[in-house]
Amino acid sequence: LSMDDRDGFIWLDGKVVPWRDSRMHVLTHALHYGSAVFEGERIYDGRVFRLAAHSQRLINSARLLDYEIPWTRQQIEEATRAVVKANGLQSGYVRPIAWRGSEVMGVSAIGTTVHLAIAPWAQEGRLSVQARDAGINVTMAKYRRPSADFAPGHAKVAGLYLICGIEKDKALKAGFDDALMLDWKGDLAESTGANIFLVIDGTLVTPTPENFLDGITRRAVMSLARKRGWSVEERTVKPQELSRASEVFLCGTAAEIVPVGSVDGHNYQAGPVARTLMADFHKLVRSPDCEGFGESTHLAPPVDRAA
């Protein structure tokens, strides 16, 4: 089913509109200059996991690009709930996106209107249960995540997905499921759409997100592991350490938690650490307070943190 030709509703600039009517002009700034910011969220039992954290990260991403979304976090949360309900979804994926409009054409976005759309649809975890059992097969990407003074890496901004898209397509065409990306220094960063964990000598190790997205799922996974009394290290991870790991897994909103079965032919077992965390995660996302900031309080503005 083509994404632009479906039944259902999208929240667009304050109104819930029929799916096929949510269109924009070809001279939209974001289309030409990559200035859209977005989120990926997941609906479990009719509720959006970490809705507050995702909505705040959307606002923060726009601010990192020097623009303000003309809706408060609470309004974005209400709009999300309303459109999920309008579509009658109990489970699925939500894509909120904010972008600079079409009033002016040129590199500068000054003078353009900021728009916001929220589109939810039915979508199970990206990967089949079978792929989850065996683990996915990944390769190493050529392009690297840029340094913090080269791009606003903590913003979930359309422009920064250019290299992710190229690497993901290349991996799929070569028969892999995804690609692992290094950062500008040559250290392990993340995959094209998820964060990464390695299990080394019984410790969970994950790269410090200095120049890439500090995933909301990543934070949840660290917290679940610590609750089990497991040691978790956030540190620089060299790609060579992949050969020492007993398990490797990815995590993100779309991927949830997915074991890696191989990296360029080096095989891993979809092991007990990932399996236990998958079960814990399954429970967490269905807990009654799952819509809040949870363990992602780093995304909340100080005023909200005190409240």
What residues are annotated to the active site?
Answer: 156
- Restricting to residues 157-186, name those near ligand PMP by CB under 6 A: 164
DSSP state of 183: B
Shortest distance, position 198 Cβ to ligand PMP, whole Å? 16
Cα–Cα dist 113/28, whole Å: 10
Cα–Cα dist 56/192, whole Å: 22
Span of 23-31, 82-90, 122-130, 192-200 interacting with ligand PMP by CB under 6 A: 192-200
* Burial (CB count within 10 angstroms: exposed 0-12, middle 13-18, buried 19+), residue 129: exposed
207 binding ligand PMP? (CB under 6 A):
no
Alpha helices by DSSP H, the chain: 29-33, 51-64, 73-86, 129-134, 162-173, 216-227, 272-284, 302-306
277 binding ligand PMP? (CB under 6 A):
no
List the one residue from 67, 218, 247, 274 that touches ligand PMP (CB under 6 A): 218
194 binding ligand PMP? (CB under 6 A):
yes
216 binding ligand PMP? (CB under 6 A):
yes
List the one residue from 59, 83, 182, 213 that touches ligand PMP (CB under 6 A): 213
Q: 247 and 263 in contact (C-beta within 8 Å)?
A: no
List the one residue from 215, 259, 261, 294 that touches ligand PMP (CB under 6 A): 215
Phi, psi for 108 (deg, rounded to 5): -70, 135
Span of 116-124, 168-176, 188-196, 265-273 interacting with ligand PMP by CB under 6 A: 188-196
253 binding ligand PMP? (CB under 6 A):
yes
Cα–Cα dist 19/6, whole Å: 6
Give residues in contact with ligand PMP (CB under 6 A).
40, 164, 190, 193-195, 213, 215-218, 252-253
